[in-house]
Amino acid sequence: MAIQVTMPVLGLTMEEGTVAEWLKHEGDSVQKDEPLLTVEMDKGTVEVPSPASGVLRRIAVQPGTAVPVRTVIAEIGEAGVAPRGADRQAVALGQRLFASPRARMRARAIGVDLNAISGSGPHGRIVEADVLAVGASDARVVATPLARRLADERGVSIGDLRGTGPGGRITQDDVLRAAEQRPPAAAVMPPAQVAMPPAPAEVKPAPSEIQIQPLTRLRRLTAERMAASARATARVSLFLEADLSEAARFRNQLQPEFERLGVAKLPWDAVIARAAALALQEHPRVAAQWAEGEGIRKPTGIHVGVAVALDPEGLVVPVLRDADKRSLRELAAGLLALVDRARAGRLGPAEMEGGTFSI
């Protein structure tokens, strides 16, 4: 029986998600709770585990596609059990593609379309031998991109060449060899008298083209929220100079202890988070918020968010919970763990919610 994989609900306000990357291919074996795909949501990119063990029978939603939550995005079937009924029809229509990793690699190398191959493996799985057989009998011209560029530059008809690469693929050496063997073109004698061409008409420069770079979901949401913040937040900026000499001395004094704990350098963000938590404990109204129709909302905890850059995908703000109740050592360890998970795309939604103050 096939198990449906749906777009998960990763937050209370999440309405849709974008498939960022499938970590498994159709036909691959998967284990329950093994990372199956990554999903882009409002607060970042999150790994989604497999809901069951078996074989990934079908991927219904391709990377870059946004769908509402609870939409079926894939199906997992039992290992060793052939698809039945509608599943067989889907395979016949090419909606499912079962191929071994070596078959996929070989198909990419020699330019063979897997959708045009009938697999001879178990349950119609495409194996490497199927790809090689099609590659040998395929009448298409298969050439490397460099070979095609060289052929265009040197005037060589690539359709007349016999490739010496894998599966008959035409390589740059084949093109260079053909160019050397081609007879030189006959010299053209110049005419006795050449009329001077008329002066060229004035050419107006073409207007410069504007390129639109599509945004990832995370970058788009970051831009939208920054714009919304500029519209809704009181535009007050306060610039102060602070003498951090004592803080730097304190940090250097603690550095040997952190090195013994395996931390190469005590992050400044952890020091600032600790200072902010103590200040918020003393001045809780700084973190108060105005709630329309309710009044002043005062958070019951001090949860400090620290911005982490995800070059080139924008930024996320993981949250250090109860920062006022944690030691500097605990804050540093927690911050380093959050930064590692953020840059690996493994932050959970709960780790990016509930912040009451941001750095």
How would you list the strands of the sheet with 66-68, edge to edge?
44-49, 35-41, 16-22, 66-68
Q: Which CATH class is domain 145-178?
A: few secondary structures
Domain ranges of the chain: 3-96, 145-178, 218-224+245-358
CATH topology of domain 218-224+245-358: Chloramphenicol Acetyltransferase (3.30.559)
User: Per-residue pLDDT for 107 more than 60?
Assistant: yes
Report the residue count for the chain: 359
CATH topology of domain 3-96: OB fold (Dihydrolipoamide Acetyltransferase, E2P) (2.40.50)
Could you tell me the end-to-end alpha-carbon distance of the chain, in angstroms, rounded to an integer? 49
Structure confidence by residue, pLDDT tens digits, 249-297: 988 888 888 787 777 778 889 999 999 999 999 998 888 877 777 888 8
Whether the CA torsion 291, 293, 294, 295 is positive or negative: it is positive
User: Per-residue pLDDT for 307 more than 60?
Assistant: yes
Structure confidence by residue, pLDDT tens digits, 125-159: 777 777 777 655 444 556 665 677 677 777 888 77
Strands 54-59 and 35-41: unpaired
> What pLDDT score was predicted for residue 189?
53
How far apart CA 310 and CA 318 sit, in angstroms, is 12
Give CA separation, 116 vs 94, 138, 166, in Å.
9, 11, 19
pTM reported for the whole predicted model: 0.48
Average pLDDT over residues 14-27: 85
Most confident of 41-45, 134-138, 243-247: 243-247
The maximal CA–CA distance of the chain, rounded, in angstroms, is 97
Alpha carbon 21 to its chain's center: 6
- Which amino acid is residue 353, in one-letter code? E
> What pLDDT score was predicted for residue 319?
92
**What confidence category does residue 238 fall into, taking pLDDT thresholds of 50, 70 and 90?**
confident
How far apart CA 88 and CA 83 sit, in angstroms, is 6
Tokens 């998600």: give the residue: 17
Where residue 99 falls (left for φ over 0; alpha for ψ -120 to 50; beta otherwise) is: beta
